[in-house]
Structures are given as structure tokens and as C-alpha cells.
């Protein structure tokens, strides 16, 4: 068998180099994309998990509060509990660095406590800093940087680093390093008291890490400690805390992996169409082998081996590509492919055996699966009949199975109503698969039906083409199936992206009504505008009104990631991009209103009219859900409350951002300069809504770049399917063409016949693909996006684009069909007929 | 220079180790002046304005089987001069550091443990008005009649009462003003409580023993660090079998000579007498080399007090504290017997610092 395998089967791959190369490339692409996504996110998540574990250190339990922190008296109480062996308080600050684009995570720790709980955070006083005294680490201006942070900031011990607190830039002295922080963690450490004073957080901490005494049951301790904590402060196990955060990027990872799987499927499909072609071409050769004694099983094994070799080679090539891609991504985009999930991490690319092997196996699987049907088809042939010429067309026989289509469509519809599994829209993806299958299965019947509509033309070539497709739709199916699948996926993606972009654009417009936006820092960082700064801005000439915005996070339960709290003037909801019904509180003494984002409504199962308990300032406050708004920025959920309510509850009058309305005739640039002069240039950012919109859409387009790439590949593969199947058909139809030549058709006319057949096939395939694509787009928008990211969007068809796309595709398919049939047309008509002795 | 965690340096600046004066920008620590009056019981409490302060208990105990062991527990308070204007509850104005050890001949070396914290109510602190210092589950406290100390460590723990039985504290130096160097600014307020009757429990590697014995408490506070040129010191505090007590120390220079020495001797129930530098001298005897640090300690001494020749012999040779992994400090602190003419006349503790690497900041 092995000699036969080498000479008969594998050698055949070498004879059709282009086809083999293309199949191989598609599989390599699928493997590369899938594995690269896996590697990049794997490394980022690993580094992220390492960071979480590093910070958790040897903690058995961790107490977390909102981002603004919680009362540090809780620490004194918790640390004194009998079951607690060690308690380490942490104040985590995402410090904005004036004049730099990055922020730095600074951990204010009690070094005496941290030594026992997270030794990795322990600072080491640098020799150069020693002269300032042995207590250097406790000094109010001493900051210690991890090796990664030192590299990223390009700063050496003894030098100064300015950090932003409010709108002030305050200098800190780099007093040494955090040697155990690991190479991937960009962070700084300072004394907790110094951090509280520096960042205006006196009396606040963000976390307490606990080590329990030996023999204490962790769950029991968790329950008893939880009872001591104020509202919105939760005690979690480090595993839960890590899982909450990694779950955040899960949907994004799953969806990227789905793209890779689609690429692999197309690779498998390419293997299928080239193998089918090869089997048709080699029908007599294979029949001869059978007649010589090669048994059926050996034939199947041989043909499957061809697919496996393509899959293996493609898989191995894909692995190489994947590591290259991942390396590039780390250098240029970061571990989250630009999606912004992991900041302050420097993940390193490592060889990861298990996913690499798994993806090679997937590549082999795609190759074998693609080779399976043609192999079975070849094994089924009757050697005696197949030895005669003209039997090739048998290969393309297919039985119409249109009756399965309604079942597929019904199943797909049903699947759309199922909830996600573990936050992953598995059933949505299954629905997409069934829609595709339904479309492909309906194809033979639809080809036949549509040929009926073309009746009435007098052109001989048209009549011939129509008659052929109507009589033998199976031949068209192989070519058209590829078109259907690629068109459906491309169209679905195009509709989804266009709807998404349009909705994001509209959303940006509605959330950015003011003339200028002033930000002391992004939500997470240490900048803020104190009340006097806000007044100072409001009183500048040319400014008609300002509206402050304040951000915090709220922990609603121990299960989920905290939601974002946004406090701003809301005008009873009028200033929000609301979706669906709203209610207004009728009596003035009713609970204050809250407007929740779609993600929050989904994740926490809250609806308009419900009462929502929000833990603000350590107390549970009842809010009345007045509406649901669309939020494309925070997929973990967000809730908006009136700024006045927030200020009354918390006494916090600071703001993160200001929306600024200009007086009539005021020049935005002049006003922006006046603000910069008043507050300082480094510590604030001023942007016009136009800038913000342009930047947001640029980020959007970058995120979907990989999607556009996939669309192009899908189209290429569809065209390639047309080309290979027509090449196969042309071989199979040599006798037919010879006959037509005898009947008087010129070579050119046969070429035109093939062109028409190709165009008709592609037209039907494209039409079916468009309809299927529309349906899939609906599933993408309403099910997959909704379940993955919890946001809705308005469907928008890019009509002109789709029409141009369809026309171009039909033209290209016609061209491909004609080029592929070229070889058949060159053959002598006499020879072709003579083949049939 | 070897890098050390910073709190190691804190321990070093306690005056236990040589330390150059900390930078000029420090806070105003009150000076220790001759003629200051120590008032009991108020002065048994903390003096938070002064730079450093410690309560230091050493003693010998024997269990039900008569096995004899030494123990030591120290609470340090340090005013850092950092965060005086910071309203944070974490402001590290005062640090509390504690250290405890048990000398068990069956172990062959010391069992020891330490705690360090910033003072933060109610987790760690040193109270004023009467002795009370604590950090997490370690504490020492004066209840008006007895001291009580509780120490929980992994390999050992003790819960002991120390009863002075109505005996008055012994003021060292000039009525509690104890000079450490020729320059009188290097001084501390210093009193001792010898002959404390010990009772309580001692846990060693899981076995709990009822113990009885004799202990010694020192309480000292000061604003000065080690005098310049000092390399270390030798100190001993001995409960004499006649009911009296002997405290003696010397400050050593780089050449191993005495920069200063002093002591307090109380014979029987007589009045304590301060020993002037020329009345006390330390003559090193047999040396022992630490296999861990390579440092060489004179573990036997001849102590000359006026014309008396006294000999110090250790309970065991290896009573070195090697905390290079944590505090970085290396010194010898252990249980000793005092002999005169071949006869044991008392028991107590000997402390020798500055024999390992030169102590640096």
C-alpha cells in the first residue's frame, strides 16, 4: 500500500499544484487565524491571571469594593477577626501620567502586611536611594516600579516621575524596584498612607487580601466576613475574582475563534472541491487500480490520505504563520488585539504545545473531511463502467434534498430562541450553520426552478446552458455551493458590520451633544476635576454651560464583574440613547431614577419599572429603573443616575469629565485654549465631538479589519470553487464538447457556453447566498451580538455595495468558468469523440 | 552592599545596631536630659515623641520535668518622622516591631519569630500611661500588679505572667538617665525590673509545658541612634541568687575596645548602685564560630565589677539570631549563667551585637 500510496495518490497532489496549494493555503489560513487568536489571548490571559495571582499572592480570600474604594475602617475590623491570620490592605490607583499616553497601576500597600500576603509586591530600596534614609520605602514621595514599568517608562531609580492627582501633576521619586513582580506586569508600589494622601483618597481602600488561620474553613469564613461588610463590598475567593475578569473578554475571544473555524471550514470545502475534481479526472485510473486488485478500503484510505496530507501540510504551515502573526500582534497591537481588555500587561509569546497540536489536528481533520465524500464516491464506482470514457459525470450526480431545507430553517429559527451557554452564543452559531446547510441543500431544486424562468430565449448557447443546468443540477451544486457559502458569509458580515457601524455612529452622536468635552482622565485613572476647577471652567468666557460626569463602579453581587456607575445630568432620560419604553416617576418623593444599559438589563435580568438596589457609599439605595439605554462601550453593564442624586448620596463633588456648551459665537479652539491655560496642558484632554467620533470610528474599523480580511478570503474561496468545479466538469464533458464541435460550434462558442453556464450558476448561487446572508446577518445582530456583547443595533443594508458585489461576483465566476474550461476547448474534437470506443 | 528589606534597617536604627544619624530633615525628637524624672506608673507606658523605645523581657524557666530553657520577647516602638501631616489612619508615624525567641538546649539553637507593623488602632500600637504594646496576636501589658505577655509563633508560643512581687523598678545610670557614650547626648531613659517571678505556659513544637522561673524587664527610650564610631555592644542582665541584680553593658568601637561601659548592681535587698565606666570591664573568653554566618562570638566572658571576677557561661553556644532572610539582623542573644569562684551566683541574658558583618544602613 505504501508504494501505491506514494505513487498513485500523493503523487496526484503534485500533479495539480495550484489546486493543492490553494487548499493548503486555506487550511493554513484557518489554522493560523485560529491558533493566533488562541495564542495571543492565551498569553494575555495567562499574564493577566499571573497578575491577578501575583496581587492575590497567598490570599485565601479577597475583599473588593467599588473602584472609588471603600471605608478603610472595614480593614481594621476585618483584620481583627479571629479567623484572619493576615490581612493586607491595598489601594489601587490607575494613575494618569501627565504628558504620557499611558497610565500606571499603582498599588498603595502596607509593606509590613504585604510581606506575609503578597510578597511579590514587596519593594526593594535601591542602593542609590539609600542616602535618604532607611525608611525610604515609607516616604511620602517614594515610588517603586516593576521591571516592566521601568522599561516602559524608560526611567531609572533616583529619577522623578510625575503622576496626576485631580488636575495636579505631582512628582514622585523612583526609590527602587518591585523585583518579584515578574516581567509582564507594569505596575508601581508605594506606601498606602502616602497613596491615600497623594491621590485624595484618605480613608479609602480598594481591596483587602486575607490569609486565614490554618484549619479555618474558607467558605464558612467567607460567609461570616461577608456579614461584616458594607453594601457593595464583597468577599471573593481569588479564583472567582480572576474568573470574573477573564469572562469579560470571553465573548470577544469566542467570536474571533468562530472566524477561524469558518476559515477552516472553507479550507475543508476547498479540499472537497479539488478532490472531487481530481477523482473525476482520475476516474479511469482509479477504476484500473481497482481492476488490478486494489480493494475498496485501500482506495478510500489512499484518497483520504491525500486530504490528510494537504491538511497536515496546511496545518503545519498554519502553525508557523500563527506564531508569526501572534508575534506581530504583540509588537503592534497588544494582547487584546486592540480591544482594550488588558492594559498594563506585557505578555510574552511562548510555544504552546497543546493548542498547536490541536490546531494541526483540526487542519488534518478539515483535509480528511473534505476528501471524505469524493473518496466515498470513488469507492462506490463500478470499475467496469468507470473504465469506459464518459462516466466522469457520475461523480457530479447528486440527489436533490430540498425537503431537508424547511427542516433546517425551522431548526435554525428554533435555535435562535435558546439562551447562550455559559455566556457563549453556541446556539446562535448552530443556527448559522443550519441556515447555510439549508441554503446549500435547496440549491439543486432552486437551480432547476430558476432555469424554468429563463425559458423563451432563442439563443442557442443560452438554451444549451439552461437545458444542461436544469437537467443536471448536481453539477452546478458543487460550484454554486461554494458561492452560496462564501456569499452568505460575506453578505452577513457586511450587513452586520454596516448595521453596527451605523448604530455606533448614531449612538456617538446622541451621547455627544455638547460642543466640547474636557476629560481629566479616562474613567479608571487618577485624574479628576475638583469642584473649584469645574467652577473655574464654567466661568471662562465663551462657555454657556457645563455638565459634569462622574464615574465609579458598583459591585452588585459576588458572581459578576462590577457595573459602571455614571452620574451625570440626565434630563429625565432625554439625554440618553434610550431604547424601548420608559417610565417616569409620578410622585416627587418616589425613589430616584436609574437608567440601565442593555447589557445590565440582560446580565442582571432587570426591566423598566423594576426597583434596583444600588450599593452607593456603602449603603443600599433603592432606585427606580426608568429606562434602558444603548451602550456600546461597556459590555459588563452600566447604570446612569442623576448627578444631583449621586452628589446627595455620596458628598462627592468631583467630576471625571465635563461636557461643555459654548456661548453663541464662541470659537471652540479659543475656548479650548482658555481652558488649557486655566487648568494646565498636561493634566487634561479636550476634544470636540467630531474628534471623539472620528477616533471611535477609527477604532471600530480597526477592530473589524480582520473581518474584512475574512470576507475577501471567503470570496476568493467561492470563486476558486467555481473555477475548480468547472475545470472538473470540463474534463468530464470532453465528449460532449467534441460532439458539439462536430455539430458546428466553434471553440469560442463552447467557451461562451461555459461562460454562460458559469454566470448562471454563480447568479443562482449568489442569489441564494444573498438571501441566506440576510438571514444570517439577522442571527448575528439579534442573537450572536446580543448574547455575546448584550447590545442591540439597527439593521442597515449596504444595498449599493451588495448589488455591485453580486454583479462582480457573477462576472468573475463566468470568467473563472471560461478559463477553467480552456483546456477542454483546446482538445481536438475528433480525439474527444474517439475516446468513446 | 547587600540589599535588605527596609524594615531590617528599621531594626538597625533602634540603637540595637550602629546607625549614622538620620538626615537633618527629621522631626524634632525630644532630647534625653540628665535630671529628667522617671515617674511610675506613667512612664511604664510609651513615649511616642521619642525616636525609639523598647520593652525587653528575658528569663529562665523550667517546666514540670525540670527542663530549663531561656526565653526573650521584645517590643520596639519607632517614631519614623514620616507622615506626621498625613491624616491617613495608615500614616506610618509609629512602627511597632516585636521579636521573640526560645533557647532550648534540646533544639541546639534558638527558635525565634518576629512581627512588624505600623501602629494602627486596634491592630498594633503602644499605649501611653502604662505598659501596653501589641501587634496582632502578640502583646505585653502591665495590669498594675503583674506583666502579661502573649506570643504566638509557628514553632513556639508562650503565655506568661511576670510578677515583681511589689519590688520597685531599678533606675539605671543617674536616676534613669543612662549614658551610652562619652558624649552625654548619647543617652536613654532606662529602668529595669529584675527578679520577676514567671508563671504560665510555653508551647514548643506542639508540646505545651507549665513553666516557672525568673525574668528581667528592661524599658528604655531615647532619641539618639548609635554613637558615631560604635560597632556594637555587649549587654547582660542577671538575676542574682541572693535576690539582687546586675546589669552591665559596654559600647564597642571598631577595634573592639570599650567606648563606654556602665552598669547597675543591687546586692541582695540592698539599694541599687550605678557602676561608672571605670568600675566595669568585659574580658572576652572562649569563642564560638557560627556555622551559618561565620561570625565569631565570645560566648564566655570574664566580667570585672570593681575587684570582683565574675564568669559568664552560656546555656548553649548557639544562641545566634540569624534573621538575614527577614530583618537582616545577625546577633547573639541568649541565656547565660553567672559564676563567681566556680559557683553559680545568678542567671540571666547576654546580648552581643556587631560581631557579624559591619552593621550598615
Residue owning grid cell 504545545? A353
The answer to whether A318 and A27 have CB atoms below 8 angstroms apart is yes
* Average pLDDT value for residue range B53-77: 95
The 3 state secondary structure assigned to B282-305 is EEECCEEECCCCCCEEECCEEEEE
**Among B67, B66, B64, B46, residue whose Cα is nearest residue B55:** B46
Q: Which domains does chain B possess? A: 6-12+42-353 (2.40.370.10)
Q: What confidence score (pLDDT) does residue B1 get?
A: 26
- pLDDT of res. B357: 63
Q: What is the mean pLDDT of residues B215-239?
A: 91
pLDDT band at A260 (very low <50, low <70, confident <90, very high): confident
Check A197 against B123: CB less than 8 A apart.
Answer: no
Dihedral over alpha carbons A641, A643, A644, A647 (to 10 degrees): 100
Q: Kindly report which listed range (A450-454, A785-789, A810-814) carries the lowest average pLDDT score.
A: A450-454
The pLDDT value recorded for residue A336 is 55
- Cβ-proximal residues to A261 (8 Å cutoff; 6+ apart), any chain: A30, A34
**Chain B residue whose CA is closest to A213:** B154
In this structure, are residues B285 and B301 in contact, taking their beta carbons and an 8 Å threshold? Answer: yes
Name the DSSP letter for residue A213: P
d(CA A484, CA A477) in angstroms, rounded, equals: 10
Q: Is A79 on the interface with B (CB under 8 A)?
A: yes
Residue A85, SS3? strand
**Closest CB from B7, B90, B121 relative to A192:** B90
Closest Cβ opposite residue A193 in set B22, B23, B91 = B91
B361 vs A: CB within 8 A: yes
- C-alpha distance from A224 to closest chain B C-alpha (Å): 20
The minimal CB distance from A138 to the residues B5, B13, B92 is found for: B92
Contact call for residues A537 and A672 (beta carbons, < 8 A):
no
CA distance A689 to A687: 6
Rounded Cα gap, residues B132 and A113, in angstroms:
21
pLDDT at B360 > cutoff 50? no
Those residues with Cβ within 8 angstroms of residue A781's Cβ, 6 or more apart along the chain or in another chain: A495, A496, A499, A500, A792, A793, A795
| All three cell numbers of B317 | 553556644
Q: To 10 degrees, what angle do helices A473-511 and A426-453 make? A: 130
From A713-727, A809-823, B230-244, the region with the lowest mean pLDDT: A713-727
Residue-wise DSSP of B246-283: EEEEEEEETTS-EEEEEEEEE-TTS--EEEPGGGEEEE
Please report how many Cα atoms fall inside a 13 Å half-sphere around the Cα of residue B97, on the Cβ side. 23
Q: Which residues of A touch B122 (CB under 8 A)?
A: 76, 80
Cβ distance of A134 and B3 shorter than 8 Å: no
Cβ of A133 within 8 Å of Cβ of B23? The answer is yes
Q: What is the pLDDT of residue B14?
A: 38
CB-CB neighbors (< 8 A) of B23 in chain A:
132-133
pLDDT greater than 90 at residue B77: yes
**Whole-angstrom Cα distance, residue A442 to residue A274?**
22
Average pLDDT over residues A267-280: 76
The answer to whether the Cβ–Cβ distance between B123 and A76 falls below 8 Å is yes
Interface confidence, given as ipTM, is 0.87
> In this predicted model, which residue has the larger pLDDT, A285 or B46?
B46
Q: How many CB atoms lie within 10 A of CB B336?
A: 27
- Chain A residue numbers with beta carbons less than 8 Å from the beta carbon of B13 are 134
Return the HEC string of A586-637.
Answer: CCCCCCCEEEEEHHHHHHHCCCCCCEEEEEECCEEEEEEEEEEECCCCCCCC
CB-based contact, B117 to chain A, within 8 Å: yes
Instruction: Using a CB–CB cutoff of 8 Å, tell me whether A132 touches chain B.
Output: yes
Q: Would you state the torsion angle of the CA atoms of residues B282, B283, B289, B290, taken in this order, to the nearest 10 degrees?
A: -10
Residues whose CB is less than 8 angstroms from the CB of residue B291 and which lie 6 or more positions away in sequence, other chains included: none
Confidence check: pLDDT of B4 > 50: no
Q: Which of B9, B82, B117 is the closest to A112 by Cβ?
A: B117
Closest to A673 in 3D by CA, of A657, A686, A683, A663 = A686
Are A578 and A627 in contact, with CB atoms under 8 Å apart?
yes
Sheet strands (E) in B30-129: 52-62, 68-79, 94-103, 110-118, 124-126
Among the listed residues A618, A818, A722, the one whose alpha carbon sits nearest the alpha carbon of residue A66: A618
pLDDT, residue B7, reads: 37
Residue of higher predicted confidence among A571 and A14: A571
CA-wise closest residue to B78 among B95, B54, B98: B95
Distance CA A685, CA A682 (A): 8
For residue B49, what pLDDT is reported?
95
Residue with cell 475571544: A253
- Which residues in chain B have their CB less than 8 angstroms from residue A214's CB? none
Q: Which residues pair with B196 in a beta bridge?
A: B215
Average pLDDT of chain A is 83
If residue B335 lies in a helix (H) or strand (E), which one and from where to where? Answer: strand B329-340
Mutation target vs B (from A80, A112, A206; most B CBs, 10 A cutoff): A112
Q: Which residues pair with B301 in a beta bridge?
A: B284, B312
Q: What is the dihedral of CA A738, A740, A744, A750, to 10 degrees?
A: -90
Condensed to tens digits (0 to 9), the pLDDT of residues A685-699 reads 888 988 888 888 887
CB atoms A125 and B6 under 8 Å: yes
CB atoms within 10 A of CB A443: 30
Q: Does B35 touch chain A (CB under 8 A)?
A: no
- Quick one: pLDDT at residue B16? 35
How far apart are alpha carbons B149 and B200 in whole angstroms?
10
pLDDT per residue over A530-540, tens digit each?
999 899 999 99
Q: State mean pLDDT over A247-270.
A: 72
Nearest to A138 among B5, B19, B80 (CB): B80
- Asked whether the beta carbons of residue B122 and residue A80 sit closer than 8 angstroms, the reply is yes
Residues linked to residue B171 through DSSP beta bridges, in sequence order: B191
CA B7 to chain A, closest CA, distance in angstroms equals 7
Average pLDDT over residues A95-103: 83
The pLDDT of residue B12 is above 50: no
- For residue B45, name the pLDDT band (cuts at 50, 70, 90): very high
- The three three-digit cell numbers of residue A125, written as one number: 530600596
Any chain B CB within 8 A of the CB of A202?
yes
pLDDT-derived band at A126, boundaries 50, 70, 90: confident
Q: Which residues of A touch B80 (CB under 8 A)?
A: 135, 138
Residue A818 pLDDT more than 70? yes
Over chain B, what is the mean pLDDT?
A: 88
CB neighbour class for A804 (10 Å; exposed up to 12, middle 13-18, buried from 19): exposed
Q: Do A134 and B6 touch (CB under 8 A)?
A: yes
B1 vs A101 pLDDT, higher one:
A101
- The Cβ of residue A575 has, within 10 Å, a number of other Cβ atoms equal to 18
Amino acid at each position: 500500500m505504501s508504494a501505491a500510496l506514494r505513487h498513485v495518490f500523493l503523487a496526484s497532489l503534485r500533479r495539480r499544484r495550484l489546486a493543492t496549494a490553494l487548499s493548503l493555503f486555506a487550511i493554513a489560513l484557518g489554522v493560523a487565524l485560529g491558533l493566533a487568536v488562541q495564542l495571543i489571548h492565551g498569553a494575555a490571559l495567562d499574564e493577566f491571571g499571573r497578575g491577578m495571582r501575583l496581587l492575590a499572592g497567598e490570599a485565601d480570600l479577597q475583599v473588593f469594593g467599588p473602584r472609588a474604594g471603600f471605608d478603610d475602617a472595614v480593614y481594621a475590623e476585618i483584620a481583627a477577626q479571629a479567623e484572619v491570620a493576615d490581612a493586607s490592605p491595598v489601594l489601587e490607583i490607575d494613575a494618569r501620567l501627565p504628558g504620557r499616553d499611558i497610565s500606571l497601576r499603582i498599588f498603595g500597600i502596607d509593606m509590613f502586611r504585604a510581606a506575609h500576603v503578597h510578597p511579590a509586591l514587596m519593594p526593594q530600596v535601591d542602593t542609590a536611594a539609600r542616602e535618604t534614609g532607611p525608611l525610604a520605602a515609607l516616604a511620602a514621595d517614594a515610588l517603586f516600579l516593576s521591571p516592566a514599568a521601568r522599561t516602559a517608562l524608560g526611567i531609572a531609580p533616583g529619577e522623578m516621575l510625575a503622576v496626576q492627582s485631580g488636575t495636579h501633576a505631582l512628582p514622585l521619586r523612583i526609590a527602587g524596584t518591585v523585583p518579584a513582580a515578574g516581567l509582564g506586569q507594569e505596575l508601581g508600589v508605594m506606601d498606602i498612607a502616602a497613596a491615600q494622601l497623594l491621590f485624595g483618597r484618605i480613608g479609602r481602600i480598594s481591596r483587602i487580601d486575607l490569609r486565614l488561620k490554618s484549619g479555618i474553613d474558607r467558605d464558612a469564613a467567607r460567609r461570616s466576613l461577608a456579614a461584616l461588610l458594607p453594601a457593595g463590598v464583597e468577599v471573593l475567593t481569588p479564583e472567582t475574582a480572576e474568573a470574573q475578569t477573564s469572562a469579560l473578554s470571553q465573548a470577544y475571544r469566542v467570536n474571533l475563534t468562530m472566524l477561524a473555524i469558518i476559515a477552516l471550514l472553507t479550507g475543508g470545502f476547498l479540499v472537497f472541491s479539488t478532490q472531487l475534481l481530481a477523482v473525476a479526472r482520475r476516474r479511469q485510473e482509479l477504476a484500473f487500480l481497482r481492476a488490478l486488485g486494489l480493494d475498496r478500503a485501500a482506495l478510500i484510505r489512499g484518497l483520504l490520505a491525500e486530504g490528510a496530507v494537504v491538511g497536515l501540510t496546511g496545518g503545519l504551515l498554519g502553525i508557523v504563520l500563527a506564531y508569526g502573526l501572534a508575534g506581530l500582534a504583540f509588537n503592534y497591537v497588544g494582547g487584546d488585539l486592540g480591544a482594550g481588555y488588558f492594559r498594563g500587561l506585557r505578555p510574552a509569546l511562548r510555544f504552546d504545545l497543546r493548542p498547536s497540536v490541536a490546531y494541526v489536528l483540526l487542519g488534518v481533520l478539515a483535509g480528511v473531511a473534505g476528501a471524505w465524500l469524493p473518496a466515498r464516491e470513488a469507492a462506490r464506482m463500478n470499475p467496469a463502467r468507470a473504465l469506459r470514457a464518459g462516466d466522469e459525470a457520475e461523480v457530479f450526480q447528486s440527489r436533490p434534498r430540498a425537503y431537508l431545507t424547511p427542516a433546517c430553517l425551522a431548526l435554525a429559527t428554533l435555535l435562535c430562541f435558546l439562551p447562550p451557554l455559559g455566556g457563549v452564543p453556541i446556539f446562535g452559531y448552530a443556527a448559522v450553520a443550519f441556515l447555510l446547510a439549508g441554503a446549500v441543500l435547496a440549491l439543486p431544486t432552486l437551480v432547476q426552478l430558476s432555469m424554468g424562468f429563463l425559458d423563451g430565449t432563442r439563443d442557442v448557447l443560452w438554451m444549451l446552458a439552461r437545458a444542461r443546468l436544469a437537467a443536471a443540477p448536481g453539477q452546478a451544486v458543487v460550484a454554486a455551493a461554494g458561492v452560496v457559502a462564501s456569499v452568505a458569509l460575506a453578505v452577513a458580515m457586511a450587513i452586520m458590520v454596516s448595521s453596527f457601524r451605523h448604530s455606533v455612529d448614531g449612538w456617538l452622536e446622541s451621547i455627544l451633544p455638547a460642543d466640547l468635552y474636557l476629560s481629566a482622565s479616562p474613567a479608571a485613572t487618577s485624574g479628576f476635576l475638583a469642584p473649584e476647577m469645574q467652577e473655574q471652567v464654567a466661568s471662562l468666557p465663551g462657555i454657556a454651560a457645563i455638565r459634569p460626569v462622574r464615574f465609579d463602579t458598583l459591585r452588585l453581587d459576588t458572581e459578576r464583574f462590577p457595573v459602571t456607575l455614571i452620574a451625570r445630568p440626565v434630563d429625565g432620560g432625554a439625554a440618553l440613547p434610550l431604547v424601548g419604553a420608559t417610565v417616569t416617576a409620578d410622585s416627587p418623593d418616589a425613589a430616584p431614577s436609574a437608567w440601565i444599559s442593555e447589557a445590565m438589563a440582560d446580565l442582571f435580568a432587570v426591566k423598566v419599572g423594576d426597583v434596583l438596589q444600588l450599593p452607593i457609599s456603602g449603603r443600599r439605595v433603592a432606585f427606580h429603573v426608568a429606562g434602558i439605554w444603548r451602550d456600546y462601550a461597556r459590555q459588563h453593564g452600566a447604570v446612569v443616575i442623576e448627578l444631583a442624586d449621586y452628589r446627595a448620596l455620596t458628598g462627592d463633588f468631583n467630576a471625571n469629565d465635563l461636557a461643555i456648551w459654548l456661548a453663541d459665537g464662541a470659537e471652540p479652539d479659543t475656548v479650548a485654549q482658555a481652558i488649557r491655560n486655566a487648568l494646565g496642558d498636561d493634566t487634561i484632554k479636550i476634544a470636540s465631538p467630531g474628534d471623539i467620533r472620528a477616533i471611535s470610528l477609527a477604532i471600530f474599523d480597526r477592530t473589524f479589519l480582520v473581518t474584512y480580511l475574512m470576507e475577501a478570503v471567503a470570496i476568493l474561496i467561492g470563486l476558486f470553487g467555481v473555477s475548480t468545479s468547472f475545470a472538473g466538469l470540463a474534463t468530464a464533458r470532453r465528449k460532449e464538447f467534441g460532439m458539439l464541435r462536430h455539430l458546428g460550434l466553434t471553440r469560442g462558442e463552447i467557451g461562451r457556453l461555459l461562460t454562460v453556464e458559469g454566470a448562471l450558476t454563480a447568479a443562482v448561487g449568489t442569489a441564494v447566498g444573498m438571501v441566506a446572508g440576510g438571514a444570517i446577518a439577522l442571527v448575528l445582530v439579534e442573537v450572536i451580538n446580543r448574547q455575546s456583547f448584550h447590545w442591540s443595533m439597527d439593521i442597515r443594508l449596504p444595498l449599493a455595495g451588495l448589488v455591485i458585489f453580486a454583479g462582480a461576483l457573477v462576472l468573475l465566476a463566468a470568467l473563472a468558468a471560461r478559463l477553467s474550461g480552456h483546456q477542454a476547448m483546446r482538445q481536438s474534437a475528433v480525439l474527444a469523440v474517439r475516446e468513446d470506443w | 552592599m547587600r540589599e535588605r528589606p527596609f524594615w531590617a534597617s528599621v531594626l538597625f536604627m533602634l540603637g540595637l545596631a550602629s546607625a549614622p544619624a538620620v538626615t537633618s530633615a527629621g522631626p524634632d525628637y525630644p532630647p534625653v536630659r540628665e535630671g529628667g524624672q522617671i515617674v511610675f506608673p506613667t512612664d511604664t507606658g510609651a513615649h511616642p515623641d521619642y525616636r525609639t523605645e523598647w520593652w525587653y523581657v528575658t528569663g529562665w524557666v523550667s517546666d514540670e520535668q525540670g527542663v530549663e530553657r531561656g526565653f526573650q520577647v521584645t517590643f520596639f516602638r519607632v517614631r519614623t518622622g514620616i507622615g506626621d501631616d498625613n491624616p491617613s489612619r495608615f500614616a506610618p508615624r509609629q512602627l511597632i516591631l516585636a521579636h521573640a525567641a526560645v533557647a532550648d538546649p534540646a533544639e541546639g539553637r534558638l527558635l525565634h519569630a518576629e512581627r512588624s507593623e505600623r501602629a494602627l488602632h486596634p491592630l498594633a500600637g503602644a499605649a501611653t500611661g502604662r505598659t501596653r504594646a501589641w501587634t496582632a496576636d502578640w502583646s505585653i501589658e502591665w495590669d498594675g500588679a503583674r506583666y502579661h505577655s502573649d506570643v504566638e509563633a509557628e514553632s513556639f508560643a508562650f503565655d506568661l505572667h511576670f510578677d515583681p512581687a511589689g519590688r520597685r523598678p531599678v533606675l539605671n545610670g543617674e536616676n534613669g538617665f543612662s549614658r551610652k557614650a562619652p558624649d552625654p547626648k548619647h543617652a536613654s531613659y532606662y529602668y529595669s525590673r529584675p527578679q520577676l517571678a514567671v508563671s504560665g505556659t510555653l508551647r514548643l513544637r506542639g508540646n505545651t509545658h507549665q513553666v516557672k522561673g525568673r525574668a528581667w524587664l528592661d524599658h528604655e527610650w531615647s532619641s539618639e541612634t548609635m554613637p558615631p564610631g560604635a560597632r556594637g555592644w555587649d549587654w547582660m542582665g542577671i538575676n542574682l541568687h541572693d535576690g539582687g541584680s546586675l546589669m552591665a553593658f559596654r559600647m564597642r568601637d571598631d577595634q573592639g575596645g570599650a567606648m563606654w561601659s556602665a552598669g547597675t548592681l543591687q546586692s541582695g535587698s540592698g539599694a541599687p548602685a550605678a557602676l561608672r565606666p571605670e568600675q566595669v570591664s568585659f574580658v572576652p573568653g572562649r569563642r564560638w564560630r557560627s556555622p551559618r554566618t561565620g561570625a565569631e562570638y565570645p560566648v564566655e566572658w570574664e566580667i570585672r565589677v570593681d575587684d570582683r571576677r565574675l564568669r559568664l557561661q552560656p546555656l548553649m553556644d548557639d544562641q545566634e539570631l540569624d534573621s538575614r532572610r527577614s530583618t537582616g539582623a545577625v546577633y547573639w542573644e541568649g541565656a547565660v549563667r553567672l559564676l563567681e569562684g566556680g559557683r553559680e551566683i545568678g542567671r540571666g541574658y547576654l546580648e552581643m551585637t556587631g560581631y557579624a558583618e559591619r552593621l550598615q544602613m
